[in-house]
Structure 1
């Protein structure tokens, strides 16, 4: 498991948002950053706004490294259409993100672990790479062992979030389909994401 999984709520406090909308987040009690200067309210610069937007987007997906995010940005620029929308779509095509959206895992960190431990199949083939990019109409299914895991069963029953329209899922069969790549408005982020600021950050 990545080191960030052990300090995921520190990310919440540092960014001053309940990034995943979870009831356990410390931001529900203290809406300020950590440390003795955490309650400071200085006006942020344009650079800081761009940096924080990047950190929010990067932090939300849990295991995305700076190198990976920059690579996604480069691919988003290469593709036709809005670069910010393309960036979000690429992130939402990650296999660990799809597992999270299908509610097979309670957190993005748990979904990454499920994939890396070999519990996920794409079109009948086992895939253990969390950053694997899922294509439209790909069928994602859990292994027979994973279908009986208590934490997986608990995740499918959680009322914290809903399954978005760009994926379909059958929680009885533990199987789903990635229907299409989403637009920013389709993605159920619990906090405001600003991919346009992320694009500005990388295009400096």
Structure 2
């Protein structure tokens, strides 16, 4: 089992929720935190604890984002006019690795980061290997031709676990996608409830 797989399952169990909606999540059978004392940790959370949990859940959902990276995205959202929570999730969905995951190029968000890092995708015809690259409305992301037969890609494209959201337009048998617009919270297909308003409260303390 890889470190990524272990981390993925650990996040699910720590949150007590199947945050990616995957059928193999251990939370489906064990809704408690990891470790020998996991079943005894479900006490009542303080307001701070609830806010922290909301932040950890959203940050964990996007894979290997560090606290520093996540806070940088939050600060960017906070500087913009409008609802900071809505802007935050829109910026996270605009990440290249998030788009690769949403388009079902690969099965998991962890695989999406690795896939981008290894140079398997192009943005508007140019190779981009930075997972945090911010995709703009109208940008076209495509799997490079030599990468389309990778087993992980075939598994992702054929998967029925997730649907491609309406703010993406798939073409070319699922190997090419256009980012139509930055989504709002209600459009993003999170399998569990995300509460970006609590994250705003967390960072505003």
Are the aligned partners of 1:88 and 1:195 in contact in 2 as well (CA < 8 Å)?
yes
Q: How far is the alpha carbon of 1:37 from its aligned partner? A: 2.8
1:170-195 per-position Cα deviation (integer Å, ceiling 9, x unaligned): 25261110000000000000011000
Partner of 1:159: 160
Map 1:90-169 onto structure 2 (within 5 A).
Answer: 90-169=91-170
- Secondary structure of 1:18's partner? coil
Scaled by the length of structure 1, the TM-score of the pair is 0.96
Q: Tell me whether 1:57 sits opposite 2:73 in the alignment.
A: no
Stretches of structure 2 that go unaligned for 5 or more consecutive residues are: none
Moved more, 22-31 or 36-45: 36-45
Q: Within 2, Cα distance between the matches of 1:142 and 1:107? A: 16
- Aligned mates of 1:173, 1:93 — CA distance in 2: 19
**Residue deviations 1:107-155, cap 9 Å, x none?**
0011111100000100000000000000000000011121111210111
How far apart, CA to CA, are the structure 1 residues paired with 2:188 and 2:179?
13
Post-superposition, which runs of at least 4 consecutive aligned residues in structure 1 deviate over 3 A? 2-6
Count of aligned pairs: 203
Shift of 1:6: 3.9
SS in 1 for 2:166: coil
In structure 2, the partner of 1:21 is 21
Unaligned runs of 5+ in 1: none
Deviations 1:77-123 (A, max 9, x none): 11111000000000000000000000001000111111000001000
Separation in structure 1 between the aligned mates of residue 94 and residue 136 of structure 2, nearest angstrom: 7
CA contact (8 A) 2:137 2:182 kept: yes
Superposed CA RMSD: 1.3
